Structure 1
């Protein structure tokens, strides 16, 4: 069994926040998700994400799921 936890999915949250001039703390307040959980997502360490969380992030950042989550390039 591989020890690598990589799902092959990259979260572009950091890039989208920079492009919108928003901090992770601000996003956390807008979507009602803890700063720690958003940080886990931002750093590609999340194993799962609720559709409600994904929807809320996309609404606040005015993006589509495909803008946020992309296939990781190796």
Structure 2
């Protein structure tokens, strides 16, 4: 079994949510309302502090931003 990584260590994945929202002129609040995910949870994702994301959440964000998962999550 692999050792558990500390919560403050980078995951190696970068979330581009901030850039995508800016490109579309959309706020985090608007995205939250559109996808039904709390602002707090989206903020955790946006600030690269998320350790996991549900596929259903990722699909909802992609639908709202008209993008693909690879546009949101990239290797850091």
Q: So what's the TM-score if we normalise by structure 2?
A: 0.90
Structure 2 alignment gaps of length 5 or more: none
- Shift in Å at residue 63 of structure 1? 0.3
Larger C-alpha radius of gyration, 1 or 2?
A: 2
- Shift in Å at residue 68 of structure 1? 0.3
Across the aligned residues of Structure 1 and Structure 2, the Cα RMSD in angstroms comes to 1.2
- Shift in Å at residue 61 of structure 1? 0.1
Question: Are 1:8 and 2:8 an aligned pair?
Answer: no
Structure 1 residue ranges (4+ consecutive) displaced by more than 4 angstroms after TM superposition: none
Structure 1 alignment gaps of length 5 or more: none
Q: Which string of whole-angstrom CA distances, capped at 9 and with x for unpartnered residues, describes residues 5-48 of structure 1?
A: 31100000000000000000000000000000000000000011
Aligned pairs, number: 72
